[in-house]
Structure 1
Amino acid sequence: MKLCITEKPSVAKDIAAILGADHRCEGYYEGGDYKVTWTFGHLCTLKEPADYTDLWKRWSLGALPMIPGRFGIKLIADKGIEKQFGIIKNLIGEADEVINCGDAGQEGELIQRWVMQKAEIKCPVRRLWISSLTDESIREGFKSLKPEQDYDRLYHAGLSRAIGDWILGMNATRLYSLKYSAPGNVLSIGRVQTPTLALIVQRHHEIANFKPEDYWELKTLYRDVTFNAVSGRFKTQQAAEEALAMISDKPFSIVDVADKQGREAPPRLFDLTSLQVECNKKWGWTADDTLRLIQSLYEKKVTTYPRVDTTYLSDDIYPKVPVILKQMTPYAGLTAPIVDKKLPKSKKVFDNSKVTDHHAIIPTGQLPSSLVGDERKLYHLIALRFISAFYPDCTFRSTTVNGVAGDVGFKASGKVIVAPGWRAVYAGKDNAEQDGADKDDDNKILPPFEVGESGPHEPSLLKKQTQPPKLYTEGTLLRAMESAGKTVDDEELREAMKENGIGRPSTRASIIETLFKRRYIYRERKNIQASQAGIDLIATINEELLKSAKLTGLWENKLRRIERGEFSAAEFISELKTLIGDIVINVLSDNSSRQIEVKSEEKVQPDKPKKKRTRAPSVKSIEEILCPLCGKGHLLKGRSAYGCSEFRSGCALRIDFSECGADLTPAKVAAYIKKKYRHDQ
């Protein structure tokens, strides 16, 4: 018997229909040689600290950092999950072969591997890897199943991500909550969420500290066209008025007219982030709204796999594009000009080097007849972007006219579209493409000018003020996460920076939602504001590694390199273990009395000391005292604190002299430590 394990019941139903497993049983389908079951997404999770040792059940500074000798997984505590896992485990025990049909991505691989490990699988495993859920794609996928080992690096990257998040999240949250929070409250800190919050808080401070400055622009009107002074802004009114006086009684003369032809390529296909950005800009949808809707379109078979970070297609998709375009019958009027011609194979669309697991989000060719409301709007957006990618470039003629009045130079620019090309796809009012289509001074149509002509003009001064940076919207925040905090407008550069972005396309929406849930940020119309709790939290975190978008981006880069086999998962985890050890030592060394008040549903499990007298042990020197944290090292006396001889190996024990005194006898130090760490446990 061959057992297929999918991530969702709906996918199991589709695959079962293709395989002929059409008999529905409790928790699975069966028919012929196949049984098909599902996981409901995550059934397993990494163990909680309390699952490893009783010492970690209560939140205690003395127990930090918490680093399990070996990380383990457990079933999520839910009756429905436990029941479905029991069904899967029994089926795995009966199977001769398992086919992993999880979502074809890092998270999907992790979900399935954990379930199979928990079920103690012993039979061979193969992997189904598809980019859409159409019948044709599923059939092709089953013809080319791969050995599970081909995806080991993907699993190792996903596991490293989960363990890294555990190490930093569990330890830093307990550390900062116990050290700085109001009693009983949790300060939630995460490997990705904290740098994201830091971006929002940084923008808050940039706006709060912004001091507007006046400046003046010199313009003149000649033949109903506004010309701008090429000297740019004037910082003082006096300088601006002096320039105005110099030209007021002088004629305006045209000194140069330059015409050149230009081309504008179609906008790139969508990856998940660019789709979320566009939907936020057009309709104000949250990143989570868009992810939910595009996931639904994927499961309804009308678009391809959504959790992607590339805007390119692989070369093997090229021969399929004409077929998809012909099947998009609701758009026959738009596809007719290109469908019967040889389609261009542009490097801006097809590039194998820019595609790893999946290609850009495109329609599958299945009719979207069942779509309504927002799903239909989203499909329409993707369909137009896909069709426009195979239209010719938009060609235009740009004109730059230079003039002079007195000694002051002026310039006016305009643009005339010669052939609309891909812009014809967006010709309708309802379909106006936003990218680069906004009207501005550079796009106006200019009348014909001739060099040497001259005449009267109307100069004027326009007083303006410098403007502060804009608050983030979800769209601009997603772009900032994608580029590790850098503002990047150029598509090519943005593509190159994705390797160092904060988080992954599939997780960024949930990270933003987590910050809302923790009440560190809030919405103000379409804008995102930092709450006082969020501002205070970032102010409290002195460790740059915990809040730096750039450094978090470098961690993401290492995870991608693990996927490619260029970096070791063990090395990544080792680096994070060292990092959290350093952070614990540094925070415990902070003698400030800062406290952050934040309303949260989460609560710290406080230490509850037991009142019991302790007899001082008989010791003659500090070095005789065994470290209660690691159980390996002995106590050392430094300049300002007691510490552990195993500090280089990560032991974070530190007791400041301000806490217990520097002149205690060894016996009293031993008694103090025994009392302190018994209470902490």
Structure 2
Amino acid sequence: MRLFIAEKPSVAKAIAAELGVTGKGDGYIECGSDKVTWCFGHMLEQAGPDEYTPDDVPTNDKGRKIWRVDELPIIPDEWILRPKDDAKKQVRVIGGLLKSASQVVNAGDPDREGQLLVDELLEHFNNTKPVIRYWSNAIDSVSVKRALASMKDNQEYHGFADAAEGRGKADWLIGMNLSRAYTLRAQRGGSRALLTVGRVQTPTLALVVTRDREIESFKAVPFHTIRAEIQHPNGAFWASWKAKEDQAGLDAEGRLVDTAVANALVESLTGKPGSISEYKQEAKKQNHPLTFSLSDMTALASKRFGYSAEDVLKTCQSLYETHKLTTYPRTDCAYLPESQFADAPDVLAAVKAVNPALASIVDGADTSIRSRTWNDKKVSAHHGIIPTMHKGDLNKLNDKERNIYDLVVRAYLAQFYPIHEFMSTTVAVDVEGETFSAKGKVVTKSGWHDVYLDNSDEDEGDQDDESQSLPKMGQGDAITCGQAARRDAKTKPPARFTEGTLITAMVNIHRFVTDPQHKKMLREGDGIGTEATRASIISELKRREYLETKGKQIISTTLGRSMIDALPEVVKSPVLTALYERMLQSVESGKTELAAFITKQEAFIRDQVAKANDGAVSIAGGKEAAPVSDVFKCMSCGAGLSRRPLPKKKGHFWWGCSNYPTCKQTYPDVKGRPNYSKGRNNTDKE
């Protein structure tokens, strides 16, 4: 008996439908001699840190062990995995089915976590049966049939499971240890705040904090530009003045800031004759847009519809899983495998059936056109998000699903239209020794732009002077400078992040790094986080009240900023996080052993915890109470001490026993530490 273990019920149902359902049991589907069962994502979870600390650690009033510096860092000798409370029944079902299986099929989602969540169950039950891998980016009928016909040895995907396991363990080590260490450090500084540190969460928060402070410290610089209407015998057009290198009135950035100079230029140029000093025409082409990675989709949907990253992920997931209209969404790749090019007629037929309103655009597609998007060399574990051959019901989609689906469909349709072609014209004009320039663009073949005629902002080029039509002219032609005009402007601060632009920043983290070597390394696109986790990271930062939303904007809170200020650069550095992801890729490919990766993480944690345990820090904006720290213990009773601010003396503190009022011992504060030599057994706070 073959036992298929799918990542979720919807995948199990899709597989069972193709195998042929012959019966149903409690937690599984019978398909002749085969059985198909399912998980609900990860069925096993890491044990909490309290399970790795001594049993004699005192507990608080909620029965939880008090956080103590003595126990840090917490590094398990043997990691404990156990079934989640809501998964225990289904885990028992899977265990029972494994006993009678002759072969197991890992049908997790096609990624690291999908590989691990089934493999870890097999390890949990000490499985010795042969295992093969089902790998599919979609759950429509055609995709499932292909995947069933091309299953491979599960061992070929072992690196995926190792990388996911390494990520999980390293995240646990960082999150549990550094969150506790910095929470205790903050408490020693008199702050009652729960600080959570994460390998991706913290650098992401640092991006927003840095951007917000850049905006708040920004000082606008006023400057002037000069525009003129250039009159040519064949027609008029607008041109912009270009300053000479030795032009008077410029600032260090080359902006015209002297109003008197600007006015003098306007007056001296208006109505004066001149000539065309340069005229250049060049035929250009604009390649087809790629299909969507999840990050690309999030950025566009955030900009166009104001959707949050979590909205986009949930919508893409429902289009894939519930409606079967699109392929696997958690992809970091926008390219398509060349083997799927032949599917285009069938995919377009399904698109037309689902979207009758797009019939004319579908009919205009030419499936012999092979765009740059079809490229096996650039396809990663998953390809770009595209429509499937499933002929679903558009009426069952909600507004968000319709909008996202429309983006997916149009990007795919665009691949089968000609390249967009236009004539680009560049003109330089000389008037009284001053230079004006203009650019123009004339479309000669609309091509794939026809797919977006009712959605024109898909072409994200700026709607500036480059879109103007320039008259036919030649070098040396005489012109007249019509009305010149001074335009007043101010430099603008960087834009605040939205969820879409923050996702993009996480992907393109190299843009925020100054070190040339690090920038070069990061430019390859490792980014921070993954397509599957970035949305949840932003949601978690909001839930923790480190970030908040104002309209479409994401803004750091007082607590979020204070936390970033309290952390060392290495913890909040995107370079560290990107290096971490690169090491995981090496684990995935089999170039690095999982054990070696974990050993490096343990050494890093030991070093960072030691530094966090030394001294104290004050945190502003906290609302949650943290456990009492006993890095410094009361010499009278042995309980932990708590650092508290002195009333009416800003910046001064004292230490009191956490066992008060039973113990009334106090100590003066000296540079974040209690002065034991001057302790008093009373409540005097001097």
TM bracket (short chain): 0.7 to 0.9
Which secondary structure does the structure 2 equivalent of 1:472 belong to?
coil
- Could you tell me which residue of structure 2 aligns to residue 32 of structure 1? 32
Query: Deviation at 1:661?
Result: 7.8
Query: Deviation at 1:357?
Result: 1.7
Distance 2:484 2:95 in 1: 82
- In structure 2, the CA distance between the partners of 1:659 and 1:539, relative to structure 1 (3 Å rule), is closer
Could you tell me which runs of 5 or more consecutive residues in structure 1 were left unpaired when the two chains were aligned: 616-655, 664-681
Which secondary structure does the structure 2 equivalent of 1:334 belong to?
helix
Which secondary structure does the structure 2 equivalent of 1:310 belong to?
coil
Matched, 1:357 2:381: yes
Which secondary structure does the structure 1 equivalent of 2:492 belong to?
coil
> Residue deviations 1:524-574, cap 9 Å, x none?
100100011001100111x22211122211211221222112333222222
Choose from 44, 64, 75 the match for 2:72: 64
Query: Deviation at 1:435?
Result: 3.3
Does the aligned pair in 2 maintain the 1:545–1:552 contact within 8 Å? no
- In structure 2, the CA distance between the partners of 1:137 and 1:455, relative to structure 1 (3 Å rule), is closer
Counting only pairs closer than 5 Å after superposition, residues 11-22 of structure 1 correspond to structure 2 as: 11-22=11-22
Query: Deviation at 1:660?
Result: 7.7
> Residue deviations 1:206-227, cap 9 Å, x none?
0011111111112222235221
- Could you tell me which residue of structure 1 aligns to residue 276 of structure 2? 254
Distance 1:592 1:611 in 2: 17
Which secondary structure does the structure 2 equivalent of 1:309 belong to?
coil
Does the aligned pair in 1 maintain the 2:222–2:257 contact within 8 Å? yes
Give 1:342's aligned amino acid.
S
Query: Deviation at 1:368?
Result: 3.3
Choose from 103, 110, 117 the match for 1:104: 110
Distance 1:595 1:456 in 2: 62
Does the aligned pair in 2 maintain the 1:195–1:549 contact within 8 Å? yes
> Residue deviations 1:218-277, cap 9 Å, x none?
222223522111226313224323433543463243322221111111111111110111
Matched, 1:95 2:101: yes
Counting only pairs closer than 5 Å after superposition, residues 229-244 of structure 1 correspond to structure 2 as: 229-231=241-243, 233-244=255-266
Matched, 1:580 2:605: yes
What is the alpha-carbon root mean square deviation over aligned residues?
2.8
Query: Bigger shift: 107-116 or 493-502?
Result: 493-502
> Residue deviations 1:570-625, cap 9 Å, x none?
22222221111111222223x3542344224x85476699999899xxxxxxxxxx
Matched, 1:394 2:420: yes
- Could you tell me which residue of structure 2 aligns to residue 674 of structure 1? none
Q: TM-score, normalised by structure 2?
A: 0.84
Distance 1:285 1:658 in 2: 45
Give 1:2's aligned amino acid.
R
Give 1:25's aligned amino acid.
G
- Could you tell me which residue of structure 2 aligns to residue 41 of structure 1? 41
Does the aligned pair in 1 maintain the 2:186–2:617 contact within 8 Å? yes
- Could you tell me which residue of structure 1 aligns to residue 664 of structure 2? none
Matched, 1:51 2:51: yes
Which secondary structure does the structure 2 equivalent of 1:225 belong to?
strand
Distance 1:239 1:537 in 2: 48
Which secondary structure does the structure 2 equivalent of 1:160 belong to?
helix
- In structure 2, the CA distance between the partners of 1:658 and 1:197, relative to structure 1 (3 Å rule), is closer
Does the aligned pair in 1 maintain the 2:211–2:494 contact within 8 Å? yes
Q: TM-score, normalised by structure 1?
A: 0.84
Distance 1:354 1:208 in 2: 41
Choose from 476, 497, 519 the match for 2:545: 519
Give 1:336's aligned amino acid.
D
Does the aligned pair in 1 maintain the 2:192–2:623 contact within 8 Å? no
Does the aligned pair in 2 maintain the 1:272–1:309 contact within 8 Å? yes
> Residue deviations 1:431-482, cap 9 Å, x none?
2243325421111112333432132521221121111000001111111000
Matched, 1:207 2:215: yes
Matched, 1:286 2:270: no
- Could you tell me which residue of structure 2 aligns to residue 531 of structure 1? 557
Which secondary structure does the structure 2 equivalent of 1:308 belong to?
coil
Which secondary structure does the structure 2 equivalent of 1:506 belong to?
coil
- In structure 2, the CA distance between the partners of 1:610 and 1:446, relative to structure 1 (3 Å rule), is closer
Which secondary structure does the structure 1 equivalent of 2:583 belong to?
helix
Matched, 1:317 2:340: yes
Does the aligned pair in 2 maintain the 1:302–1:363 contact within 8 Å? yes
Distance 1:176 1:658 in 2: 14
Distance 2:672 2:170 in 1: 34
Matched, 1:81 2:108: no
Choose from 560, 567, 572 the match for 2:585: 560
Which secondary structure does the structure 2 equivalent of 1:165 belong to?
helix
- In structure 2, the CA distance between the partners of 1:249 and 1:610, relative to structure 1 (3 Å rule), is closer
- Could you tell me which residue of structure 2 aligns to residue 334 of structure 1? 361
- In structure 2, the CA distance between the partners of 1:392 and 1:496, relative to structure 1 (3 Å rule), is farther
- Could you tell me which residue of structure 2 aligns to residue 175 of structure 1? 181
Does the aligned pair in 1 maintain the 2:272–2:480 contact within 8 Å? no
Query: Deviation at 1:332?
Result: 3.5
- In structure 2, the CA distance between the partners of 1:434 and 1:138, relative to structure 1 (3 Å rule), is closer
Distance 2:623 2:671 in 1: 34
Q: Number of paired residues?
A: 610
Distance 2:676 2:521 in 1: 56
Distance 2:459 2:522 in 1: 20
Query: Deviation at 1:161?
Result: 0.6
Could you tell me which runs of 5 or more consecutive residues in structure 2 were left unpaired when the two chains were aligned: 58-64, 244-253, 514-518, 639-669, 678-686
Query: Deviation at 1:19?
Result: 1.8
Query: Bigger shift: 149-158 or 49-58?
Result: 49-58
Distance 2:175 2:459 in 1: 38
> Residue deviations 1:638-676, cap 9 Å, x none?
xxxxxxxxxxxxxxxxxx99858899xxxxxxxxxxxxx
Which secondary structure does the structure 2 equivalent of 1:297 belong to?
helix
Does the aligned pair in 1 maintain the 2:295–2:332 contact within 8 Å? yes
- In structure 2, the CA distance between the partners of 1:507 and 1:328, relative to structure 1 (3 Å rule), is same
Query: Bigger shift: 105-114 or 266-275?
Result: 105-114
- In structure 2, the CA distance between the partners of 1:456 and 1:202, relative to structure 1 (3 Å rule), is closer
Distance 1:423 1:95 in 2: 54
- Could you tell me which residue of structure 1 aligns to residue 126 of structure 2? 120
Query: Bigger shift: 579-588 or 168-177?
Result: 579-588
Distance 1:657 1:234 in 2: 52
Give 2:368's aligned amino acid.
K
Does the aligned pair in 2 maintain the 1:216–1:240 contact within 8 Å? yes
Distance 1:614 1:328 in 2: 75
Distance 1:245 1:612 in 2: 84
Distance 1:19 1:463 in 2: 70
Query: Bigger shift: 50-59 or 574-583?
Result: 50-59
Does the aligned pair in 2 maintain the 1:396–1:419 contact within 8 Å? yes
Does the aligned pair in 2 maintain the 1:500–1:557 contact within 8 Å? yes
Choose from 457, 461, 464 the match for 2:489: 464
Query: Bigger shift: 414-423 or 37-46?
Result: 37-46
Distance 1:48 1:364 in 2: 41
Distance 1:498 1:30 in 2: 46
Distance 2:288 2:390 in 1: 24
- In structure 2, the CA distance between the partners of 1:227 and 1:24, relative to structure 1 (3 Å rule), is same
Query: Deviation at 1:39?
Result: 1.1
Give 1:576's aligned amino acid.
Q
Query: Deviation at 1:484?
Result: 1.4
- In structure 2, the CA distance between the partners of 1:468 and 1:610, relative to structure 1 (3 Å rule), is closer
Give 1:533's aligned amino acid.
L
Query: Deviation at 1:84?
Result: 1.4
Distance 1:540 1:610 in 2: 23
Choose from 154, 161, 171 the match for 1:155: 161
Counting only pairs closer than 5 Å after superposition, residues 403-482 of structure 1 correspond to structure 2 as: 403-428=429-454, 431-450=455-474, 451-482=476-507
Which secondary structure does the structure 2 equivalent of 1:327 belong to?
helix
- What percentage of aligned pairs have identical amino acids? 33
Does the aligned pair in 2 maintain the 1:401–1:411 contact within 8 Å? yes
- Could you tell me which residue of structure 1 aligns to residue 392 of structure 2? 368
Query: Bigger shift: 501-510 or 215-224?
Result: 215-224
- Could you tell me which residue of structure 2 aligns to residue 271 of structure 1? 293
